[in-house]
Amino acid sequence: MDHKVFLTQLQTRLGKDKEEVEDYMSAFLQIMKERCAQMDSVAIQGFGSFEPRKKLERVVVNPATGKRMLVPPKMILSFKPGSAIKMKLKKLSAR
């Protein structure tokens, strides 16, 4: 599902006009970006949590050349699904 389809479904469920739903979504994403940039985790009850974390420096090997390279440390955003999402996915995989 892409952004446009998601906004359309959200608009239908909320019964709001397109501009209002886009404003809600923009505000939500802006808050998420700001909190993650401040190294705060964001938990959404019933869905999961987003947590910024530091990925350590590591050595990798280029498979084409066999040359070893050093990858510098970087910040990543990890997602941990909530129990409700895990249960739904578990039920789907059991089919």
- In this predicted structure, what is the pLDDT of residue 20? 94
How many Å apart are CA 28 and CA 95, to the nearest integer? 35
Confidence of residue 82 (pLDDT cuts 50, 70, 90): very high
Number of independent structural domains in the chain: 1
86: domain range? Answer: 3-94
How many Å apart are CA 32 and CA 49, to the nearest integer? 11
8 A C-beta contact, residue 70 and residue 57: yes
Confidence of residue 93 (pLDDT cuts 50, 70, 90): confident
Indicate yes or no: pTM above 0.75: no
CATH number at residue 86: 4.10.520.10
Per residue in 30-73, pLDDT tens? 999 999 999 999 999 989 999 999 999 999 999 999 999 999 99
- In this predicted structure, what is the pLDDT of residue 74? 95
- In this predicted structure, what is the pLDDT of residue 46? 87
φ, ψ (nearest 5 deg) of residue 62 = -70, 120
8 A C-beta contact, residue 61 and residue 68: yes
